[in-house]
Structures are given as structure tokens and as C-alpha cells.
Amino acid sequence: MPRVRITRRLHFSAAHRLARPEWSDARNSRVFGDCANANWHGHNYDLEVTVSGPVNAETGYVMDLKDLKNLVNRRVVDDLDHRNLNLDVSWLEGVIPSTENLVVRMWERIAPLIPPPAKLDRLVLWETPRHFVEYSGE
């Protein structure tokens, strides 16, 4: 049976601040630039979720894309959309909410729930139209 990749793109908007609390404002500004703004800043994120697996002979699907959308919304997007990533998201507590850290935490929340024999293959998180982070697990 051939292995096929399917991808669903989802969207959310969120605010965050990149800063280490033990550092001075000056040091945070040097390291994180505008992203260390004490009054936060926001992004309109796009998340591409790719699942791979064999094509089911009965359905013709690797996984129903509607089910994938619902799973990702429930485990990730609903928690993040129109939220402050530093203050409002319990599963990001104590984490600098960089795009890199965010995509790893998303993987941890999504991967275990993909129904076998399919598996989570890749996440691509677009922070801006010119900046994205890609993660394929450990």
C-alpha cells in the first residue's frame, strides 16, 4: 500500500513577547529586538499539519481531513487563537513562545492523537509570510 502525505492548513492570531524574566529590559531588547516589546506584539499565524500513512482501501483516505482539522483545533488552535501566548496558554507556561518552541509544543499535543496507521509527519508554522519554522519530531 502506498504511503501518502496529506496536509491541512489552519489559521490563528495571537500575541506574545520574547523575553527572559531574569534579564534586564536592555538585554532582552538586544537579544530579541522588537519581539521583546513590553507591550506585546501579535502575529497572524498559519499552521500546516501533514499526516502520512497508507491509503485506506475502503475510504480512499489516509485520514479524514475534517477529523484532522477538528483534532488540531481542539488540541492547539482553540487554546491559541486571540490569546496572549505568555499569559493565557497553560501548556506554554514557562516557555519563551518563539515560533520554534511553539511548534515543538504543538507536536507534543497533536502527534499522540493521530489515529494509526497514520502518523504526524510534519508541522510548518508560519509566523509571517516570510518566516516559518518546520518540525518533524525528534
Nearest in space to 102 (alpha carbons), one of 16, 38, 25: 16
The total number of residues shown for the chain amounts to 138
| Cα–Cα distance for residue pair 120/51, rounded to 1 Å | 5
Residues known to be catalytic:
35, 82, 127
Amino acid at the residue 12: F
Cell numbers standing for residue 65? 481531513
Q: Which residues of 63-102 are buried (b: 16+ CB within 10 A; e: fewer)?
A: beeeebeebbeebbbebbeebbbbeebeebeeebbbbeeb
